[in-house]
């Protein structure tokens, strides 16, 4: 071969090599980045070229699909009772992406998950339309309906858990939104999307208050303080008098820790102190336990870390760098103590389950289009905040909150069921100028059946500055949720 031809051959060979390198770089190294690039619409077009799988509650789909007039997206997603289920499912939109279960399990719902390779292959050879798989939740439709209806017209959230397994039975947040209203790409979808954005809607309907909003837990946190006191030997008998002065002057200050009204809190027994909600008793109790052991107990209940159910939650907080007076305030759910409704449902769940906290979850199983189970969640113990004996003592104290004549939780009584609860009112705003948050944390059981644990918070309403507001606003919602679970188990 003469010299010019050899040079041309080498040059052509280098060009072919460059093309191969570029092709492999694009096809393998940059494949994920290109697939997820906002300007690449092909994955989205493919995603909506066939009906997605469904999210299932009590054996029935709460999502579906509808054909569109779009030249690119053949189907869009729909929801049954969208505002009620949005805090569980999140949204899936052709234009605005997806959140929560719609995002986490998109591979299953769209049929692109690697575990559905066999189904995709069969569809390719048989010529049948590709289908997505199903996400089967742990939710109880009646409990969810009770939670949503009870909260309707208010700002708030509610969570119900099966303490024996950790299954989430209800998860509601209001005000809410309808994911169907902006699932497509039309001008009406855009208008609906803008209407729920925080910049245009001060009520923030897309905020999941059950998982992503932390509140001062108020007196409901006294359950954690009581658990810490029992575990560390500060108290042992729910009916033995405590060494609780009245007024109780917080250490290092001249400031008394006041109670809400003229309550029988001086040297009150733990049972009476919980039933009437004595700030002085539980603030003093928290100081006796000490900030480090209080923090340790709070962490055992799940505080100070995010939870994944599998949706991510905000971390509830018990403050770490505090003095004794701040420990007193933190131990009654004030100062910088904050909790999500899910977190307080976890507290009630551990107490009701004889001290064992099960990891909460709301996806029971993932199913292929042919209904084969490809993944199933197994209940998992998360921690043991209390011994069984101490948990049973705390259960009896919570039951007094509901049953005693002076208890603040009478509105949660259920005929034929054992109910334990704790009311709470959390002050907020500058100089406590805002309406207090009304809380109720509870559990209910019938005979030897598995209990149900519930937490409800109401952000607004005609609340007064005492624990009765928690009993008046939040307890009836919790009662309806617990009744719904009990009746569905019959």
| Residue 288 counted as domain residue | yes
Cβ 482 vs Cβ 417: under 8 Å: yes
**Token duo for residue 367:** 């199913």
> Which candidate in 98, 219, 280, 442 is catalytic?
219
The verdict on residue 376 lying in a domain is no
CB 385 within 8 A of CB 350: yes
Each residue's pLDDT tens digit, 7-60: 777 777 777 877 777 776 656 665 556 555 555 555 566 666 678 889 999 999
Q: How many CB atoms lie within 10 A of CB 311?
A: 25
Sorted by sequence, the CB contacts under 8 Å of residue 144 that are 6+ apart come out as 57, 84, 85, 88, 169, 170, 171, 172
Q: Is residue 84 part of a domain?
A: no
Entry pTM? 0.88
69 belongs to a structural domain: no
Tell me, yes or no, whether 120 lies in a domain: no
Which pLDDT belongs to residue 489?
Answer: 73
Residue 457 forms part of a structural domain: yes
Helix (H, G, I), strand (E, B) or coil at 366: strand
User: What's the domain count of the chain?
Assistant: 1
Written as six digits, the tokens of 164 are 């024996």
> What is the per-residue pLDDT for 14?
77
pLDDT of residue 447: 85
Q: Are 139 and 161 in contact (CB under 8 A)?
A: no
Residue 465's pLDDT is 46
**Short-list 225, 350, 381, CA closest to 298:** 225
Nearest residue to 329 via CA among 442, 464, 427 = 427
Domain holding 349, by residue range, is: 218-362+381-488
322/294 Cα distance (integer angstroms): 11
Chunked in runs of 10, what are the mean pLDDT values of the chain (490 residues)? Answer: 71 77 64 57 63 93 86 84 97 92 92 70 56 93 97 95 98 97 90 95 96 95 98 96 94 92 92 94 97 97 97 96 95 95 98 98 94 94 97 96 88 93 75 71 91 92 48 90 89
Q: What angle do CA 33, 37, 39 make, to 5 degrees?
A: 150
- Beta-strand relationship, 55-57 and 134-137: parallel
Q: Left (φ > 0), alpha (ψ -120 to 50) or beta: where does 2 sit? A: beta
Active site residue 219: yes
pLDDT given at position 169: 98
410 falls within a domain: yes
- What CATH number does residue 246 fall under? 3.40.710.10
- Cα–Cα distance between 335 and 318 in angstroms, integer? 9
Q: d(Cα 312, Cα 92) in Å, to the nearest integer?
A: 17
- The verdict on residue 15 lying in a domain is no
Q: How far apart (Å, rounded) are the C-alpha atoms in residues 392 and 409? A: 19
């Amino acid at each position: 071969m003469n010299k010019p031809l050899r040079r041309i051959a080498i040059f052509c060979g280098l060009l072919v090599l460059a093309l191969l390198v570029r092709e492999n770089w694009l096809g393998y190294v940059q494949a994920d980045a290109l697939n997820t690039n906002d300007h690449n619409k092909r994955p989205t077009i493919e995603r909506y070229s066939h009906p997605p799988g469904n999210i299932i509650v009590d054996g029935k789909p709460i999502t579906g699909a509808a054909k569109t007039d779009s030249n690119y997206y053949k189907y869009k997603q729909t929801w049954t009772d969208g505002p009620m289920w949005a805090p569980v499912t999140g949204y899936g939109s052709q234009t605005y992406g997806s959140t929560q279960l719609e995002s986490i399990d998109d591979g299953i719902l769209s049929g692109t998950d690697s575990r559905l390779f066999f189904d995709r292959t069969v569809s390719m050879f048989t010529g049948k339309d590709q289908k997505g798989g199903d996400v089967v939740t742990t939710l109880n439709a009646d409990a969810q309906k009770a939670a949503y209806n009870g909260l309707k017209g208010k700002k708030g959230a509610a969570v119900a858990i099966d303490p024996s397994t950790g299954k989430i039975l209800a998860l509601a947040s209001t005000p809410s939104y309808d994911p169907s209203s902006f699932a497509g790409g039309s001008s009406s979808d855009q208008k609906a999307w803008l209407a729920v954005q925080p910049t245009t809607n001060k009520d923030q309907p897309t905020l999941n208050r059950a998982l992503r909003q932390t509140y001062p837990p108020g007196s409901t946190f006294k359950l954690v303080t009581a658990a810490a006191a029992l575990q560390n030997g500060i108290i042992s008998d729910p009916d033995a008098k405590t060494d609780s002065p009245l007024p109780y002057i917080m250490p290092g200050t001249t400031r008394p820790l006041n109670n809400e009204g003229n309550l029988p809190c001086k040297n009150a027994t733990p049972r009476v102190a919980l039933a009437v909600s004595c700030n002085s008793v539980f603030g003093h109790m928290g100081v006796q336990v000490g900030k480090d052991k209080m923090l340790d107990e709070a962490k055992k209940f799940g505080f100070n870390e995010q939870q994944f159910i599998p949706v991510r939650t905000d971390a509830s907080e018990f403050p770490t760098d505090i003095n004794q007076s701040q420990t007193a305030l933190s131990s009654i759910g004030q100062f910088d103590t904050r909790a999500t409704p899910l977190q307080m449902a976890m507290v009630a769940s551990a107490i009701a389950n004889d001290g064992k906290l099960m990891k909460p979850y709301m996806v029971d199983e993932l199913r292929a289009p042919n209904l084969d189970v490809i993944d199933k969640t197994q209940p998992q113990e998360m921690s043991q905040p209390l011994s069984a004996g101490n948990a049973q003592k705390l259960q009896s104290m919570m039951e007094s909150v509901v049953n005693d004549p002076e208890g603040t939780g009478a509105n949660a009584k259920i005929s034929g069921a054992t109910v334990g609860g704790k009311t709470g009112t959390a002050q907020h705003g500058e100089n406590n100028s805002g309406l207090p948050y009304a809380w109720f944390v509870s559990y209910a059981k019938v005979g030897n059946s598995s209990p149900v644990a519930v937490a409800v918070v109401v952000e607004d309403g005609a609340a007064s500055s005492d624990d009765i507001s928690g009993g008046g606003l939040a307890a009836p919602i919790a009662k309806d949720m617990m009744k719904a679970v009990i009746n569905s188990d019959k």
